[in-house]
C-alpha cells in the first residue's frame, strides 16, 4: 500500500511539473512586437514617430542631393583650361551648363566675368559658392533639431508615465497590483527608448551629411583656386 502511495505521488508530481513546463513555454512565447510597444507608449509616441519620419526624409533627400553635387568630371577643369586658352568661351559655358553641379555653376559665373578685375571675378565666384553651399545645407538645421528634440520628448513621456504610475498607486489604496502600474511604466520606458533611438539616429545622420557638405566645400575651394590660377597664367 505504501508503494502504491509513493508511485501515485511521483505520478502527480510529474504531471504538475509537466503542467508548469507547459505554462512556462506558453509564457515565453508571449512577446510584444514593435507596433504593440508603440501603442504601449501612449500618445506621446505620435510626435516621436513624426520626428523619425522627418529625419529619414531629410537624410535620404539630402544624401542623394549632396552625392549628386560631388559628381564632378575629373577632366572638367582640363577642358575648361583648353577652351579658355583657345578663346572658346561659348564652349566653356556650354560645358558648365551640361554639368549641373556647384563647381560648374561657380566656374560658369567666373567665365562670364572674364575681362573684369580678378578681385571682381573671385568675388562673383565666392557669392555663387555661398549660395550653392546654402542649398546643400537645406533642412540640416531641422535634422539637428530632431536630434535634440526627440530625446526631450521621450523624457517628457517618462515623466508623464511615472506621474501616471504614482497616481494609480495613490488611488489603488491597499490593492496595489503590478498590472495596475504597468500602463504608466510602459509609457515611461517605451517613450524614453523611442526618443533616444530617434535622437541618436538623427544625430549620426546630421553629422554624416555635414561631413559630406564639407567635402563638397573643399572641392569648390580647390576648383576656385585652380580657376583663378588659370586666369593668372600668361597668355601663350
The pLDDT value recorded for residue 53 is 93
The pTM is what? 0.75
Residue-level pLDDT, tens digit, the chain, 236 residues: 443 333 344 344 444 444 444 444 443 344 556 566 555 666 788 889 899 999 999 999 999 998 888 887 778 888 888 888 888 888 888 888 888 888 888 988 888 888 888 888 888 888 988 999 999 999 999 999 999 999 998 888 888 877 776 676 666 666 666 565 566 676 777 888 888 999 999 999 999 999 999 999 998 888 888 888 887 765 55
Question: For cell 506621474, what's the residue?
Answer: 163
The pLDDT value recorded for residue 22 is 47
The pLDDT value recorded for residue 29 is 40
The pLDDT value recorded for residue 18 is 46
C-beta of residue 75 within 8 angstroms of C-beta of residue 98: no
Amino acid at each position: 500500500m505504501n508503494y502504491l502511495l509513493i508511485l501515485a505521488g511521483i505520478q502527480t508530481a510529474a504531471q504538475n511539473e509537466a503542467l508548469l513546463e507547459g505554462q512556462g513555454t506558453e509564457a515565453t512565447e508571449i512577446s510584444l512586437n514593435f507596433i504593440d510597444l508603440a501603442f504601449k507608449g501612449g500618445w506621446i509616441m505620435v510626435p516621436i514617430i513624426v520626428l523619425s519620419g522627418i529625419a529619414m526624409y531629410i537624410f535620404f533627400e539630402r544624401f542623394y542631393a549632396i552625392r549628386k553635387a560631388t559628381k564632378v568630371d575629373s577632366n572638367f577643369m582640363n577642358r575648361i583650361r583648353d577652351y579658355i586658352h583657345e578663346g572658346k568661351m561659348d564652349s566653356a559655358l556650354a560645358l558648365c551648363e551640361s554639368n549641373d553641379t556647384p563647381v560648374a555653376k561657380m566656374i560658369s559665373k567666373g567665365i562670364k566675368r572674364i575681362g573684369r578685375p580678378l578681385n571682381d571675378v573671385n568675388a562673383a565666384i565666392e557669392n555663387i559658392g555661398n549660395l550653392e553651399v546654402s542649398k546643400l545645407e537645406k533642412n540640416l538645421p531641422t535634422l539637428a533639431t530632431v536630434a535634440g528634440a526627440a530625446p526631450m520628448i521621450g523624457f517628457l513621456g517618462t515623466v508623464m508615465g511615472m506621474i501616471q504610475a504614482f497616481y494609480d498607486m495613490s488611488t489603488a489604496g491597499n490593492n496595489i497590483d503590478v498590472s495596475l502600474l504597468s500602463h504608466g511604466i510602459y509609457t515611461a520606458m517605451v517613450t524614453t527608448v523611442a526618443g533616444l533611438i530617434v535622437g541618436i539616429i538623427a544625430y549620426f545622420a546630421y553629422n554624416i551629411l555635414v561631413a559630406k557638405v564639407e567635402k563638397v566645400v573643399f572641392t569648390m575651394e580647390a576648383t576656385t583656386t585652380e580657376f583663378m590660377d588659370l586666369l593668372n597664367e600668361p597668355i601663350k
